[in-house]
């Protein structure tokens, strides 16, 4: 069951003194939660017009969770760029001998990035946000006690989903 709180955008929020992801006392770490919603995709003669909105929220977390989430976010990009870099390096170093390895590194890098993204999702799953709508965003918690404390601190209404 999810416990939800509607949050007004642009107003400061107070958070309980525990990490919503692990239950540990939080230090100075924060985790960035981001949700993107595609509004319209229009194919044009010169390319594609993509209209979207992004909702971002920083949530206090324990130092361990904050470092792990940041490290996984960095590893997503390193795996994508590293696969391309290895492919280019192998093809320029000795042409004609490492085509299979270069192609394998190019094909494996998105799957590795997807694995890091899934791992990050699993760690940050206890708190989710929904795209902003009418000046509010919905924050979903797995922990009822944390959602209740959060809603009481900010004088917001909590409801179960």
pLDDT of the residue at 117:
95
Structure tokens at 121: 């999702």
Q: How many domains does the chain have?
A: 1
> For each successive 10 residues of the chain (161 residues), what is the average pLDDT?
89 90 84 84 82 85 92 95 90 80 90 96 93 88 92 91 77
- The span from the first CA to the last CA of the chain, in angstroms, equals 6
Domain coverage including residue 22: 3-160
Q: State the Cα–Cα distance between residues 105 and 81, nearest whole angstrom.
A: 11
How far does CA 107 lie from the centroid of its chain?
23
Which among 148, 123, 159, 150 is positioned nearest to 32, based on CA atoms?
A: 123
pLDDT of the residue at 55:
87
pLDDT of the residue at 77:
95
């Amino acid at each position: 069951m999810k416990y939800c709180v509607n949050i007004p955008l642009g107003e400061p929020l107070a958070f309980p003194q525990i990490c919503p992801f692990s239950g540990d006392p939080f230090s100075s770490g924060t985790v960035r939660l981001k949700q993107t919603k595609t509004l319209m995709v229009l194919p044009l003669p010169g390319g594609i017009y993509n209209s979207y909105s992004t909702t971002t929220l920083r949530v206090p977390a324990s130092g361990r969770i904050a470092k792990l989430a940041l490290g996984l976010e960095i590893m997503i990009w390193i795996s994508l760029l590293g696969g391309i870099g290895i492919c280019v390096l192998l093809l320029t170093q000795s042409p004609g001998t490492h085509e299979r390895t270069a192609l394998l590194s190019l094909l494996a890098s998105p799957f590795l990035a997807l694995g890091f993204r899934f791992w990050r999702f699993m760690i940050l799953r206890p708190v989710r946000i929904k795209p902003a709508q009418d000046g509010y965003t919905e924050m979903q918690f797995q922990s009822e006690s944390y959602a209740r404390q959060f809603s009481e601190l900010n004088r917001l209404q909590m409801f179960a989903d």
